[in-house]
Amino acid sequence: MRSPRQILAVTKGHGYDRNSFSDLLDVLPGIACTQVEQPAAQLHFSGAEPDRWDAYLLYDMPGFVFKSDHSHPDLLDPPQAYRDDFTSLVERGHGFVFVHHALAAWPTWEEYASIMGGRFRFLRDERRPDSGYRHDVEQRITPVTEAVGHPVLDGLHDGFTITDELYLAEIHHADITPLLVTDAELTDRTLWSTWNAVIGRRDTNDGWEHPRGSGVVAWVRNHPRSRIAYLQFGDGAAAFGNPAFRRLLANALHWVSDRGSENE
């Protein structure tokens, strides 16, 4: 019998239901997860530590200091040593699964967004709009036709229904292979502005413009060495307990752990 995949699950930087998240990790078949919060988790990306892990599960959102007066948050650069360690692991072929709010992590580190294949933006500037969100949306998820047969979608080819938070965010479509799409309408009229929320005006979209979203909610990154996946699901207990999401996450972790074989 094959030993369980050893996965480092990195957290902190965004609120979440710890008990439900831990319950999710505990039931993933063939997987043993160890949770470590930022910044202590950074030690597990250096030296001999990566040899302990078959893959990393990123459910963290470092790089922000939000303020109670709703003024502009402070943005933190990742330590250079961590930046070097992380990019070295990608180049060496380590596997990564980014989940939900990890898409917003390290806002000043553009290479990080390139590795993930997208970026959720809390901030608005003259060149790029802030991203959008909406909680507790019941949605139907279906596989992209060209992705049917991909190992991450094993057992999920008929699609599934989930109630979870939606994102309207930047996706680097030229660099990814889409796996799943939502039937929810992703527009700046149906979702809420994240910048408005930052400045104390949650669940509003006035003054906000954003291109319509493609509907892609899960993808794999076309990297020449590492296997990289992003799953947009995972806001809370409803998603964590969804059997299809549990299957999807387990599939993704097993797939990125098989980085020694030819990419499929």
- Per-residue H/E/C for 157-217: CCCEEEEEEEEECEECHHHEEEEEEECCCCCCCCCEEHHHHHCCCCCCCCCCCCCCCCCEE
Q: What is the pLDDT of residues 204-228, one digit of tens each?
A: 999 999 999 999 999 999 888 999 9
pTM over 0.85: yes
Instruction: Give the pLDDT of residue 1.
Output: 59
Band (263; pLDDT cuts 50, 70, 90): very low
Helix or strand run (H / E) with residue 136: strand 132-143
What's the mean per-residue pLDDT of the chain? Answer: 96
pLDDT at 211: 97
Strand 132-143 with 55-60, pairing: unpaired
Instruction: For residues 218 and 229, give the distance between their C-alpha atoms in angstroms, rounded to a whole number.
Output: 8
Span 229-262, pLDDT tens digits: 999 999 999 999 999 999 999 999 999 999 765 4
Average pLDDT over residues 164-177: 97
Q: Can you tell me whether residue 111 is helix, strand or coil?
A: helix
Q: How far apart, in whole angstroms, are the C-alpha atoms of residue 231 and residue 98?
A: 6
Beta-carbon neighbour count of residue 206 at 10 Å?
Answer: 7
Mean pLDDT of 187-216: 98
With a cut of 70, say whether residue 19 has pLDDT above it. Answer: yes
- The beta strand positions in 69-109, using DSSP E, are 74-75, 95-99
pLDDT of residue 184: 98
User: What pLDDT shows up at residue 260?
Assistant: 60
pLDDT tens digits for range 118-157: 999 999 988 999 999 999 999 999 999 999 999 999 999 9
Report DSSP letters for 241-253, one per residue: T-HHHHHHHHHHH
pLDDT (average), residues 173-185: 98
Q: How far is CA 203 from CA 59, 170, 185, in A?
A: 23, 20, 16
The string of pLDDT tens digits covering residues 48-106 is 999 999 999 999 999 999 999 999 999 999 999 999 999 999 999 999 999 999 999 99
**pLDDT over 60 at 199, yes or no:** yes
Q: What is the pLDDT, as a whole number, of residue 222? A: 81
Cα(259)–Cα(95) distance, integer angstroms: 6
Is the pLDDT at 264 greater than 60? The verdict is no
Of 160, 165, 155, 215, nearest to 185 by C-alpha is 215
**Predicted pLDDT of residue 86:** 98
